[in-house]
Structure formats: C-alpha cells, structure tokens
Amino acid sequence: MEKEMSVIDRARIWLSGSFDEDTKAAVKEMMENNPPELTDSFYRDLEFGTGGLRGIMGVGTNRMNKYTVGMATQGLANYLKKMFPALNPVKVAISYDSRNNSKYFAQIVSEVLSANGFKVFIFDDLRPTPELSFAIRKLGCQSGVMVTASHNPKEYNGYKAYWDDGAQMIAPHDENVIREVQKITLIDDVKWKGVKENIIVIGGEIDAEYLDLVQSLSLSPESIRRQKNLKIVYTPLHGCGRKMVPDILQRLGFENIHMVEEQAVADGNFPTVRSPNPEEHDALNMSINLAEELQADLVMATDPDADRVGIAIRNHHNKMILLNGNQTAALLFYYILNRWKELDKLEGKEYIVSTIVTTKLLSEIAASFGVEYFESLTGFKYIADVIRKNEATKNFIVGGEESYGYLIGDFVRDKDAVSACAMIAETAAWMADSGKSLFDLLIEIYQQYGFYKEGLLSVTRKGKSGAEEIQKIMADYRSDPPESINNSRVIKVKDYLLMTEKDITTGREQSIHLPKSNVLQFFLDDGSIISVRPSGTEPKIKFYFGVRESLQSKADFENTEQRLDEKINRIISSMNLK
C-alpha cells in the first residue's frame, strides 16, 4: 500500500503547478480509470541512464514527454557548465530521427540548451546518428544529443547524449550527468524559454563533408566501376537512411539501386513492419520480396536512426538468406583487412575492435593479418573509448559488434550504417570481380578459420516486476553458477560486475581490466561460450551463444550449420530458457 501511495503522490504533483492542461487531464484519466497504467507511468522517474534517455512516450515521470526531456536536458546543461566553465558559449549539436515526436523533443532540447546560454547547432531535418557524431567533431562541440529510440517499437523514444569526441558518454561523464539530472526534481528548475539567436540550423554543408569522408574509405573503386550494375535493394525502414545511403552508393559508382518505396517514407508509426529492427527477420520481408522479384544480389536495411544495418545475400541455391550481425562483421573485417594488406597499408600499428559478446572469429581474422585486436564491453561507446585511448599511437581500421553495428574509419565515433552499407556493397563488387558472391566469401572465411555460429535469445520482462525478475536471474547465476551446460563442463566464468575471471579447473582467479558491467560469461569444455546480460536500453535480459566446428567444404555448409544450430538449441534447453 505504501508503494501505491507514493505513486499517487507522484501523480498528484502533475495535477497542479506549471504542467499543461492536456497533461493534467491525462493524469486524471489514469487515476480514475487505469490504475495499472498510472503505476507504470509514475512508479519511478524515467532513468537517465548511461546511454541517455529511452522509454515509452506518454504522461508521467516514467515516460518520454516534454517535461522529462526538459528536466534531463537541464541536468545535462548543468553538468556541461561545470565541465567547461571557461567556454562561452558551450556548443552542442542536435539531430533527430523519424520517430513520432522526435523533432518536437529535439526542439525542446535546443530551447532548453539555448536558454542556458549555449550555442546550439540543430539539423534542418532528420539525420542519421553517425552524422550527428561527425558534426560534434566537425563543429568543435562539447556535447551532442541524438533524439531516437534506435530500433525500439513505435511506442518508444529517447535520446543519446554525446561527449566532445563524438562518442556517447562513458564514465565518469555519464554517471556525473545522471547525478545532475537527478537533482532536477521540479519542472520549474528548467530554463524552458529558448533564445533564438543561440540556435543555428545546419544541413547540406555537413552532409557533403560527411559523405566526402565516407567516400574516401573506398578500397576497390576499380571493382565498383566494373560491377556498377550490381543489383542492390535497400530499405531505410521509414527512417533516416533514406537519403544518405542511396547518395553514398551512387557517389561510389553503383548504378542499379532499388529502394523499397513503401518504406522510403519517414514515418514514426513504421506502418509496414512489426518493429523497425534489422535484427528481426520480419523487418526485411518486403526488401527480400523485392530482391527475389528483381533477382537482386544484395539486400541492405537500416534502422530508424541509420546506425545499424542488416543484410541478405544469395546462397548457392540462388535463395536470399539473412545474415546475422556476426556474419556481416566477418565479411566486412576480412574484406577490409585483406585490401589493406593488398594495398600495402598495414604498417604494424593497426588494430580492430569488437565486444565481449561478438564472435571470436573476428580476433582470428585479425591475428591472421598481424593486426592487433582489442575487446571492449558491449556498446559502441566502449569501442569509441578504445579509439580515443589509442588515436595518438595506433591506427584504427574497423570496429563492430554482433548487434548489427559497424564503424570504418575514425571520423565518426559511433556505429555507422551509412559507411557500413557503402563497404558491404563494395565487398560484394570486389567478390563479383572474381566471379564470386558474398556467400562464397563467407564459406571461404569459415573454411579458413572455422565455422563460428552464434545465437541470441532475448527474454522480455516488462514493468516494475519485470525489472526485479531480471535482477534476480543475474543474482541467481552469480550465487549458484551452473557446473555444466548441455552436458559440457563449465571450465571458466567471467564476471564483469565483480571484474573477475575464474578458472574452475584450477580455482585460479584473475582480474578483468575493463569497466564494470552486469555481464556473466560461461566458457564450456567443448569450446562453447554463453554470455548473459540485461539490456541497457530495453526491458530484456539477453543470452548470447557461441559454438564452433571446422568446415571442410562448401558442400558441408548446410549440414554443419544445422548441427551448430541444434547445439545452440540444446544449450538453450539445458538452461531452461524455453
């Protein structure tokens, strides 16, 4: 009863004061007719987490709305003032995607920041996350805000907060901003009245410079000239990629690009998909159907803020198949490193970066080219941190993670689906030059390094009770870790929260030299790896599975893949996850 009263007390605050009448009416309606929704809307403050804001849009302290956005932005402004006291003005860049209310929230952010005396650069229309990252660096900004909920369903919105290097904030800045945001307890603490003179609209000039740099990444222009008619189907899934991706493909010389027209319309309701997430097979149905109709060679789909890309390619039965994020990363990394070697660009100080839950195949590829491999925590902000720490002494080539995010070059410091689409298409052209396909290249990689197969299971637990259940799952794994999984002994456990790695066979423990994170990894005697982590942006707990076998020939691909899939399914069953 005490918790319910605190919810009601929170809600009553929104029935008075400076809140607008529509908001008050919505709160009153929930109080009278929808107590469960009232509880979920007010049981806590929408968390300004280490990735910024993200939540369901609506009225309440636990919802994305103009008040929670304004309060979070005031907290960000207060922190920036503390960190850059000698700068007048502090500069911030803002962009937004096609989601419902994204432009509206971006305008609120710009008004609050300008009211705090900041110089604000805001794009004239929706732009991809990677271009926002580029703009921060180009314009010498101290921070940036991208209004987006990435690939979440249409009910969500949010924003990502960036630091002066164009990367999303990490410790200590993320935690310090959170503390400043938590100090903003009243909407009257926010400077709402924007200063028009402090807001500068940007657009085409940034587009041109960004695309020039993406174009400069090209490693095989001759292959593209010879394969300019490579048939490509592209869909922006109603999001930001609708102009940038076709533009860069045309700049590179591709002439046979087909857009899924129904999905080229920017629409925050995402009317043609269940979820605008290129990780989900359903999201690519329309593009694959078009590819089959046209007999296209390659399908690419980007999410609403165009930082992730999913692809489909033709197998040796001439059927379009979807690749997972690890497979696309393997193709990209192998192609780029191979071309760097062929062009004598490898000087001995190059490196690549991936994450702890991404395929270990990438480290094998790096080793074969004599390129250093770095591993980071999950999330591109940690890949960007590796780049920041090494930019004075080493050359970053490419980074990527299993969740369909990739970065080539360092002029952007977040995942970039625009440059990734460009390089994926170039890889296809390079293979076509020798009469082969991307599928052929994937098989060659598996034959050389081993057939690595990964699986991902996301378990959703919504609301307050769901968050508590996810916490309990992690606590149970820590207090009583499994001794075996799928009849294979657990021989090593990595706990990134306790920052320890324990060899179960010897009892020896050593430290993990990465930031703390709520992740557990179980390494099995048969070489399998299982990783468990709660999502930082969604009400989910994610289970990652990695298995491996040798692949003798192209003819063995399907049987080997089936065995590996069956093994992943057995692991899932043995962990009682289904």
Q: Which residues are catalytic?
A: 150
Residue 270: Cβ-neighbour burial (10 angstroms; 0-12, 13-18, 19+) = buried
Token pair recorded at residue 2:
């005490």
For residue 56, list its beta bridge partners.
156
Residue 362: Cβ-neighbour burial (10 angstroms; 0-12, 13-18, 19+) = buried
What is the 3 state secondary structure string of 24-90? Answer: HHHHHHHHHHCHHHHHHHHCCCCCCECCEEEEEECCCCCCECHHHHHHHHHHHHHHHHHHCCCCCCC
Token pair recorded at residue 148:
């987006």
For every residue of 219-256, DSSP letters joined together read S-HHHHHHTTT--EEEE-TTSTHHHHHHHHHHHHT---
Provide φ and ψ at 433, rounded to 5°: -60, -30
Task: Give me the half-sphere count of Cα atoms (radius 13 Å) on the Cβ side of residue 553.
Answer: 2
Cβ-proximal residues to 72 (8 Å cutoff; 6+ apart), any chain: 46, 48, 53, 159, 181, 184
Q: How far, in Å, CA of 284 to CA of 286, rounded?
A: 6
Sign of CA dihedral 572, 573, 575, 578: positive
Among 379, 397, 377, residue whose Cα is nearest residue 334: 397
- Cis status of the peptide bond prior to 172, with omega within 30 of 0: yes
Among 175, 46, 190, 49, residue whose Cα is nearest residue 114: 190
Q: How far, in Å, CA of 124 to CA of 199, rounded?
A: 11
Q: How far, in Å, CA of 231 to CA of 270, rounded?
A: 26
Cβ atoms 361, 418 nearer than 8 A:
no
